Structure 1
Amino acid sequence: MSSLFTPLTLGSITIPNRIGMSALTRNRSTGTVPNEIMLKYYVQRAKGGAGLIGLNGPNVLGFGIKFRSKAGGKLPTLSMKLEVKFMLSFGIVSLTLIPVFLRPIIMLAAGVPVYAPSAIAAQGGRFRLLPGEPGYVTPTEIADPTPLIAQFKQAAINAKEAGFDGVEFHGANGYLVHQFLDSTSNHRTDQWGGSPENRARFALETLKELIAVWGPDVSLKLSPAGGYNDMGMPLQDTIDTFGYLLREVDNMGLSYVALVRFDEEDDGPRGTAHDVVETFRPFLTKTALFVNSSVTPAEGEELVKSGKAAGVFMGMNWLTHPDVARRIKEGKELDNAPDFKSFYGRGRC
């Protein structure tokens, strides 16, 4: 696994190896206010050898402020002491947000609607913690997304003041950015919808504002295969849209782009099954590519060794093992079974 354990420069930072920990929605603290349990959780994984750790949470747009006020200088101290780098990954769930369920967590005021590019409800969704197990609500179409771009910029400022090493713009898994990109969730006829260029506008305009704050320490996460949270376009639409976006992104000087691969369990029949690395790697000639979703150590080594990827992100393995990178380096199995019932505090939903 020698290729996985070589240092890598991303933007203005250098990480000690090519094994990152995906930003995972962990409810280790109420309302995403950092606490000692949360600190311990990330310290374990930093000591376990992660080269790059992503953090996110339901109220992530304000998370930087809370981290700064509650955790003080602990995060930058950890970055230097443990050699790991922390990226704040932020996005807005939007289309698949359940106001009643998440209101106590994200402090969404009663009566405030769920916003999305178009007033189209996501299909499916069973929330057994709510009476009657309701599905997704029909969102309210965003009249003008420009104020949201300003909110993302403020989140980037918050993250910088909190001591993070960079930010990852979460445009995958059916989050708001993904909804703008996908022609099945975005039926707009204005400058924010219709053509691939218009549907990519929200992502590109927001990235410009993040770069204004962070310079080269901005990254982007995408899941072109769709499927998750009711996303997914025909293959040619997918290639046209994400191809255009990545061509533009490649000239913006991002630290990396993370591509989430198709996963049968998560993406199912709704997604567009194809090899996202083979399809979209050619669009990135200047920007480092990270690969995410069910990547095995052997696959990661081959991806990096062959030059197809600069590094990999793992998610589930980091949930079940706090020492993933160390295990890989020592040739130990990643064989802990996940306990789904404990993932989100009171069960999977």
Structure 2
Amino acid sequence: FYFFIRMYFTEEKLGQAEKTELDAQFENLMSRADCTKHWTEKIYRQTEVLLQPNPSARIEEFLFEKLDWKVPSRVTNAELLGQYMQDAAKEFDLGTPYGNTLEKVGECEKRLGEAEREFLQTSAISFLTPLRNFLEGDWRTISKERRLLENLRLDLDACKTRVKKAKVAEAKAATAPDFQETRPRNYVLSASASAAEHELRIAQTEFDRQAEVTRLLLEGISSTHVNHLRCLHEFVEAQAAYYKQCHLHMQELQKELGRLPNAFALNSTNAIATPSMVTEGSSSPVETDTLKIEEVQAPATGTRKARVLYDYDAADSSELSLLADELITVYTVPGMDSDWLIGEKGNHKGKVPVTYLELLS
């Protein structure tokens, strides 16, 4: 039987046999399903790469899942970096500016790593798992039913061909000159045609039933799209929450570093703030909070050039906004916080944070 089906399929390919065509709507449903499978697979694979760039780790996780073993919890790169920084801080002495800063930055990196791990877990559950369930569940069922439908279609086409051949043979026998003498043979041909028609009716019924089952499964692709749309929204929300959390952690770290004693800032201040820099007639040291920028004058000596490392937006009118890589003139005045300098560029001047500058010789 299967040999006959394969032979008939070959004849069909060569244009020597009739092929039962499916309606346009059914063909459209199959095309849409194939497109869904193709792009779901690509999105799934690339999301895996995004969440776990290490191919060896992906293979290991895949094997653990297939063997139904618990996937080991991995330390993220940020957590590992944070641990190294904190270990180094202990070696360098937490009492030094460098050691203290390493401790703070390491702690922040660990928090970033924890946020990343939470994001990976959330995305795997809310986005990756539904996509994989479709590919390994619904799509396999659809593929199985489509293969069965194709086999029934070939069977139906074979039955149609047998009926056609039986009717042609019967017609030829009826028009033969020796019709009366070949009457017994004609009865056999008629019975053969009737049997072929009976097989055709059965094959048509089975084909129609399978086509309806397959059609219902293909129409379910619309529900799949709705489900994947919801999962996509959850994935975006998880990403947004992760990046927001990282941003907050970095802002807190910057504030903490701004409050820490900075050896770089102290050295710079010592190099600039000397008694000879105090202008004549200057009074006792002024408090930073009451410093009037417009009244500050650059000292005759002690000014230095500095290159801006990062963009900085002034918090108020007493501060100076900065752009990365621009050169400005900086100096200090008595009573200023060691973490700040007075910066000038063109006709503008204001306080600038030392940590945003690279002082030039």
After TM superposition, the score normalised by the length of structure 1 is 0.17
- Rg: which structure is higher? 2
> Which structure shows the bigger proportion of residues in strand conformation?
1
> Which structure shows the bigger proportion of residues in helix conformation?
2
